[in-house]
Structures are given as structure tokens and as C-alpha cells.
Amino acid sequence: MAVVVHPATAVTQLTQSELQTLLLGNRRFWSNGARVELLIRGTPSPERSWFVERLCEMTEPRFRQYWLGMTFRGRATAPPRPLQTSQAVVAAVAAIPGAIALVDSDTVTPTVRVVAIDGFLPQNPRYPLR
């Protein structure tokens, strides 16, 4: 898996804790003021299961309930935007300022920036998102 962001996003690395904060909608803006736009594969997909179960530590129904609550309480304007393919997620990240997503590392293109997690990129054996 690889965490990718829009190329204008001013982030090159995150800790696992910072990533989880972003993925759960608890951080809504990047340091440059751009809104965080969370994108995700639709169900069913290995990337979405990995995202929900391993990174968010939830089941799919709990994840949907969590985002419904976040939206209802006004802590988020909408749940993560689901897209049908990894290629569509990568294309959307490249097109939407502030976008972030978790994708299969084989689908990464030069149109997005790969973010290091805990100081490691996906090709490093110590990369934590394996």
C-alpha cells in the first residue's frame, strides 16, 4: 500500500498516528490551509478493507456509522469519497488539491506524491503499511 497526496500538498512524510488522524477526519486542513480531501476505493476492494480494518481499526459497518456520526455532528462535511478503481483514485488525487488516499503501490503514477510513513517509503522493507 502507498499513501498518496495531490502534488501541491505540502507534506512529504507522516507518522502512523498522523495518518490515522487524517483518515478518521480528525484533521480537516493541511498546514497550508487546504482542505483535506479523503478518497477511498469503493466496496468491495482489498484497498478499502485494508484502509478500514488495519488503519482505522474498524469493521465496514462501524466505519460507515462512524462517518455518519462525524457528518451529523458537523465534524465532517461528508464521508471519504468512494471511487471504483485504484486508477480512478490516483487520477482523482492528482486532480483534487488537498486530496489524500491509500492505494496499491503498483497503481502509483508520477502525477501524485507518495508520502513516507514513519520515515519510510513503500519500497523500503521497514515501511510500516505492509
pLDDT of residue 51: 86
Residue 130 lies in a domain: no
- Give the torsion sign (CA, 124, 111, 80, 78): positive
Overall number of domains in the chain: 1
Range of the domain at 110: 2-117
Q: Residue 78 falls within a domain, yes or no?
A: yes
Write out pLDDT tens, residues 45-61: 888 898 899 888 999 99
Kindly state the average pLDDT of the residues 108-125: 96
User: pTM (2 decimals)?
Assistant: 0.91
pLDDT beyond 90 at 74: no
pLDDT at res. 77: 78
Residue 123 in any domain: the answer is no
pLDDT band per the 50, 70, 90 thresholds, residue 118? very high
Each residue of 21-34: pLDDT tens digit?
A: 998 999 989 988 88
In this structure, is residue 47 part of a structural domain? yes
Tell me the mean pLDDT in the region 83-89.
94
CATH of the domain at 71: 3.40.190.10
CA atoms within 13 A on the CB side of 2: 21
Q: What is the mean pLDDT of residues 72-89?
A: 90
* 33 conformational bin, left if phi > 0, alpha if psi -120 to 50, beta if neither: left
